[in-house]
Amino acid sequence: TQASSGGGSSSSILGFAALAAAAGGGYYYYTNQQGAAPAPAATASDASKVDVAAIKNEIASMLEDENHDDGSYGPILVRLAWHHAGTYDKNSNTGGSDGAAMRFEPEAGWGANAGLHTARAILEKVKKNHPEISYSDLWSLAGNTAIEEMGGPELPFRLGRKDKPSDCKALPDGLLPDADGRDKKDKPAS
**Minimum mean pLDDT among 31-40, 47-56, 106-115: which range?**
31-40
Q: Kindly report, residue by residue over 96-151, the tens digit of the pLDDT.
A: 898 999 999 999 999 899 999 999 999 999 999 999 999 999 999 999 999 999 99
Q: Tell which wins on pLDDT, 21 or 170.
A: 170
- For Cα atoms 168, 115, 125, give the angle at the middle one, nearest 5 degrees: 70
In order of 19, 73, 137, 181, the CA distances from 123 in angstroms are 22, 10, 11, 27
* pLDDT for the residue 180: 53
- CA–chain centroid gap for 97, Å, is 7
**Average pLDDT of the segment spanning 157-164:** 94
**Average pLDDT of the segment spanning 161-178:** 86
Identity of the highest mean pLDDT range in 19-28, 40-49, 80-89: 80-89
Q: Tell which wins on pLDDT, 74 or 23.
A: 74
Report yes or no on whether pTM surpasses 0.95.
Answer: no
* pLDDT for the residue 40: 38
